[in-house]
Copies of this chain bind each other. A is one copy, B any other.
């Protein structure tokens, strides 16, 4: 269970595994083979076995993988055994959409606050949370033990606000802006690049 350095290629597949195993768990399935997983997920059975062996040995020959155990292992590697306190920065369209997305709460990402520069928005209530002034964010992160900031602000202010978040002690940034944020070690950034995705679509068409 002492996980080796897991490659990015594997990490990008983990959420797919997770979602599928989750379904199996709900349906009270006991075990699943790499072959069955291969059929349903579209990765090769060989790759799946290799992936799983990256983070431990819990298959049984002639039986497959125990669903409960698999679920536990993958949850662990994905970091889903704990809850994360999150805040949204920017109460515009994307910020509001994310705020209203209930799915994330189920996965353990708990929305604790929403912040915006625009003083007109600071009385808005989204998903039971009142929008706060951005000036309060640094203290909030510190006091409320916030792990992840979801950054949905205009490009122009992205890096400046990012710096503030880091001063507050944020550990992860889910970045919906198109800016390549500069962050110190220990702060993880995951970019959601909608334009990139749309351009890929038109390229493939």
Contacts and interface: CB of A to CB of B under 8 A. Distances in A.
A19 interface: yes
A15, A77, A203: most-surrounded residue (chain B CB, <10 A): A203
| Interface SS majority for chain A | helix
A104 B200 contact: no
A205 to B, nearest CB: 5
18 contacts: A15-B193, A15-B196, A19-B195, A78-B203, A79-B203, A80-B202, A93-B96, A94-B101, A96-B97, A109-B202, A147-B205, A148-B201, A148-B205, A172-B201, A174-B198, A188-B201, A190-B198, A190-B200
Given A15-B195, A103-B195, A199-B107, A172 B93 contact: no
Interface size class of A (residues with CB under 8 A): 35 or more
A93 B100 CA distance: 7
Contacts of A193: 15
Interface string A166-205: 0000011010001000000000101011111111111111
A19 to B, nearest CB: 7
Contacts of A109: 198, 202
Interface of A: 11-12, 14-16, 18-19, 77-80, 84, 93-94, 96-98, 100-101, 103-104, 107, 109, 147-148, 171-172, 174, 178, 188, 190, 192-205
Contact of A11 (B147, B194, B200): B200
Contacts of A196: 12, 15-16
Given A148-B202, A190-B201, 9 more contacts: A14-B200, A15-B195, A15-B196, A77-B203, A93-B96, A93-B101, A98-B194, A188-B201, A188-B204
